[in-house]
Structure 1
């Protein structure tokens, strides 16, 4: 016999979740007792907002995160973290305990609630791509699968609410697939739209003398880093990333020139991007901060802008076209350009000089980040909080397999 709660945690474990963050509370204690009997580790935090931030960061690094909280006071405290995950396309599973179904039907006023037992679900419906209140054990497994599939497909938060009386009830396992499997699929592509998008993009890029790639966060979210490396190898183009896309590849790569954030960028990066005769913008969220508070100067007539669902070239839209399929199409048709014609100044050149301590001088912001730049090694995780820190880390170079974590779009102070 597999219970509803066992099935949920088994599914999460099969998807690579090894840690769940949360805060105990009486509506979720039974659920957490079950969780503690599984291979997944429960990491308790001091409050729900912090648990949400931790699960968000975990998802950015591992591909999927989960947070488990109690009803009412727990769920409402978590909301800001969920909104941030939604804004920045982070696949986060929110699991909430809930009052017993019979008590809810009686409309009794319970602690931690407002008396409206649909309020938390209604709020979560606004800030997730799928939200479900499990009411029947016979339907729970299918509802769990559908909700988790939505999380992975859209790379955004989902919400699962489990009343106390369902935690230990036996669930009906899906008939269409064994419980150990979970089929995932990429966003769909219309072949005709893809063919036309690739044809127009290749025509512009082959005619360009000084093209450049601007890469964004969707390379991290959709695990497309290897395709980006293939594209760089195929074309020889220089690459810059947006702030939110930082660390989508090793920033020691010889074709990486820096982070482009409009007028906040280094002068050489800004000049190279804005004078390019074609900008291939891939997987970027075009927010105000990613564009340097709208100081970015990207000429639409020279811009190819592709994300997870569509491609925009000049004023032409092609959809649905999945980003991974579009990149494959480019790799198949683009020719490599000579490096000397592309004006590539590797960002890693800034590390060519040795850092020399100056103990007699005052510590400055510039010297601090210069020291950190020479300190970072392969496999580090760099976390920047909102404000001066995230702006100052723009030019820190992320080595191989180093993850940069920061809310460069939603910008919630205290996230780190």
Structure 2
């Protein structure tokens, strides 16, 4: 078969549900094959950053491969930011970039879209992907595809495939199975036994779950593990929403000084903190009231299990969880953990809208109609989402880059058919909100709530004296109709409740609710986060 067909079949066999992309001359032959064969649906968007975010959202919601296809240079280099975010947040996105033909660089002329050299793009992507290949040899291309896609699945991180335009129709064999990564069964067993021994010996063990649990599709198994262990369970900031439907749901989310003081005490005083799939980053741990002692902790992530001063390499998270379950008796214990309480009971009066009012409105609707999966951008919308009932939450909580919410939510709905709730600030909406104009052709109808305070408000909280945080009022709701959706601007709690109910009842068109929020008003969680960050990062006298 043709190389492009072999690649598309390999992606589909490994769980990819669609390709998101923008064509360009170096990628046109590949796009033509996608259009002709329909092996995977092709969804085109308007700007390459949105392509990367959409593929990321598709990967996160399905715990499977997301695919982004772009052209060389102007396309792929425009997508570096969302792929960097996917890399640090463990999202398995496959980047397929068109490229100049194998002999096009021989003329001595610089190729259009080229950076410093023809290889500059490849070297840049080496920094933000876990495996790469240039598919310039029909004899080796199938094995290279298998190697790279296998790494994408094993590490749950982006990978990069460069496809020269004169190779698209090259005849190749089918792509075989992924290479088997070496795993020492004895090492897995030893790691599991030591983890259990450490937890048994601890006076105050705690299980903390984070993003890798969802990335590897382990939520149901980890829910069973939590039940059998019988220890308190919490999530990290990036793990918010995990295990919410488990028999013993998490007590809540660890946010250090910004969170529930009881959860903070529980985590920071634990002598057996088991961090399962946890990303060690500042948004998860930098505002700890007391620094977590890693010497007394267990950390399983990145195919490694670390206990105190030593570690086991090449231990996949799924194999570790299976080994732990095999050594624990089945338990029917339920109800030990109280689960996280969500604010409800919006007062639908004529008062101004605060972020927590949006959380209450969403939760009131969820109590009646069931929670929706949520795609959140960064900013106070994300801190407010921490208090929303959800059927899965995705957000750029580690990388903390703006622009994720709208295209990620669109990508998630495109591959699952599940209607998404998207929460986004006005600053991030200015970046990628216009991708909603593609909902009509893609058959998508998300509900989008824009937190509009005409400000980069989260930045203002750290530097309130600066006027550059002021944004103009673009009146987003008025633009929705021209883009194929319905829009409404609300300024009161009563209008917010009615708009959300109407949006939920209306299908077939995207629904945009522009919630006007006074400047300077923050969600409770963000206010605590900012205060905690300032307190923990301010140099002390004599320090």
Counterpart check, 1:280 vs 2:269: no
- Corresponding residue for residue 59 of structure 2: 59
Cα 1:126–1:183 change in 2 (3 A) is closer
Counterpart check, 1:403 vs 2:392: yes
Q: Which stretch shows the higher mean deviation, 194-203 or 366-375? A: 194-203
Cα 1:275–1:256 change in 2 (3 A) is same
Distance in 2 (CA, whole Å) between partners of 1:296 and 1:388 is: 25
Q: Cα distance, 1:387 vs. partner?
A: 1.9
Cα 1:365–1:80 change in 2 (3 A) is same
Cα 1:252–1:191 change in 2 (3 A) is closer
Q: Which stretch shows the higher mean deviation, 96-105 or 60-69? A: 96-105
Q: Cα distance, 1:142 vs. partner?
A: 2.0
Q: Cα distance, 1:374 vs. partner?
A: 2.9
**TM superposition outliers: structure 1 runs of 4+ over 6 Å:** 335-340
- Corresponding residue for residue 25 of structure 1: 24
Q: Report the TM-score when normalising by structure 1.
A: 0.88
Cα 1:314–1:142 change in 2 (3 A) is closer
Cα 1:33–1:15 change in 2 (3 A) is same
Counterpart check, 1:330 vs 2:329: no
- Corresponding residue for residue 170 of structure 1: 171
Cα 1:382–1:260 change in 2 (3 A) is same
Candidates 349, 352, 359, aligned match of 1:362: 352
Counterpart check, 1:145 vs 2:146: yes
- Corresponding residue for residue 238 of structure 1: 232
- Corresponding residue for residue 5 of structure 2: 6
Distance in 2 (CA, whole Å) between partners of 1:325 and 1:163 is: 38
Q: Cα distance, 1:310 vs. partner?
A: 1.9
- Corresponding residue for residue 315 of structure 2: 321
Q: Which stretch shows the higher mean deviation, 197-206 or 238-247? A: 197-206
- 2:338 counterpart SS class: coil
Distance in 2 (CA, whole Å) between partners of 1:333 and 1:255 is: 22
- Corresponding residue for residue 262 of structure 1: 256
- 1:104-127 Cα shifts (integer Å, max 9, x gaps): 222322322246211111211222
Q: Cα distance, 1:288 vs. partner?
A: 0.5
Candidates 384, 397, 410, aligned match of 2:376: 384
Q: Which stretch shows the higher mean deviation, 236-245 or 110-119? A: 110-119
Q: Cα distance, 1:260 vs. partner?
A: 0.9
Q: Cα distance, 1:308 vs. partner?
A: 4.1
Q: Runs of 5+ in structure 2 lacking a partner?
A: 406-543
Aligned pairs, number = 401
Q: Is the 8 A contact 1:288 1:294 kept in 2?
A: no
Cα 1:270–1:253 change in 2 (3 A) is farther
Cα 1:291–1:3 change in 2 (3 A) is same
- Corresponding residue for residue 108 of structure 2: 107
Q: Is the 8 A contact 1:152 1:184 kept in 2?
A: no
- Corresponding residue for residue 50 of structure 1: 50
Q: Report the TM-score when normalising by structure 2.
A: 0.68
Counterpart check, 1:311 vs 2:310: no
- 1:142 counterpart SS class: helix
- Corresponding residue for residue 91 of structure 2: 90
- Corresponding residue for residue 68 of structure 1: 69
- 2:171 counterpart SS class: coil
Distance in 1 (CA, whole Å) between partners of 2:168 and 2:185 is: 44
- 2:217 counterpart SS class: coil
- Corresponding residue for residue 371 of structure 1: 361
Distance in 1 (CA, whole Å) between partners of 2:86 and 2:21 is: 16
- 1:176-232 Cα shifts (integer Å, max 9, x gaps): x5xxxx3575x6543443343333332332244542210011111111112202112
Q: Is the 8 A contact 2:209 2:275 kept in 1?
A: yes
Q: Is the 8 A contact 1:153 1:184 kept in 2?
A: no
- 1:263 counterpart SS class: helix
Distance in 1 (CA, whole Å) between partners of 2:153 and 2:382 is: 27
- Corresponding residue for residue 339 of structure 2: 346
- 1:106-159 Cα shifts (integer Å, max 9, x gaps): 232232224621111121122212222222223222222222112112211111
Distance in 1 (CA, whole Å) between partners of 2:267 and 2:388 is: 19
- 1:93 counterpart SS class: strand
Candidates 288, 294, 298, aligned match of 1:300: 294
- 1:256 counterpart SS class: coil
CA RMSD of aligned residues (A): 2.6
- 1:160 counterpart SS class: strand
Q: Cα distance, 1:244 vs. partner?
A: 1.4
Q: Cα distance, 1:239 vs. partner?
A: 1.4
Distance in 1 (CA, whole Å) between partners of 2:300 and 2:362 is: 34
Distance in 2 (CA, whole Å) between partners of 1:216 and 1:260 is: 11
Distance in 2 (CA, whole Å) between partners of 1:16 and 1:338 is: 33
Q: Cα distance, 1:265 vs. partner?
A: 1.6
Distance in 2 (CA, whole Å) between partners of 1:68 and 1:144 is: 15
- Corresponding residue for residue 198 of structure 1: 192
Distance in 1 (CA, whole Å) between partners of 2:124 and 2:323 is: 40
Q: Is the 8 A contact 2:17 2:66 kept in 1?
A: no
